[in-house]
Amino acid sequence: MADHPNFVGAHWFQLADQAITGRPRDGENYNIGFLNVVDAPYPEMVNAAQGLHRELYRRRLGQ
């Protein structure tokens, strides 16, 4: 999205994973956040976000 002129922005919708016991209605419980269920960060997700954030404005401005 950083490289496409028609996008204004984007965000990650979840900080932490769903509970191990699952959501009340359907039991869904999978890794969707930056943090696991004990609030420990996923290093791969953090590293990817940091890498993108370092170059985001440069890419957006075409530099």
Instruction: Give per-residue pLDDT as tens, 8-55.
Output: 888 877 888 888 888 888 988 888 889 998 999 999 999 999 998 899
The rounded distance, in Å, linking the Cα atoms of 39 and 60 is 32
In degrees and rounded to multiples of 5, residue 48 shows phi and psi of: -65, -45
Tokens 């004990």 found at = 38
Q: Is the overall model pTM greater than 0.75, yes or no?
A: no
With CA atoms as reference, report the closest residue to 35 among 54, 53, 12: 12
The rounded distance, in Å, linking the Cα atoms of 37 and 22 is 11
Half-sphere exposure of 12 (CA within 13 A, CB side): 15
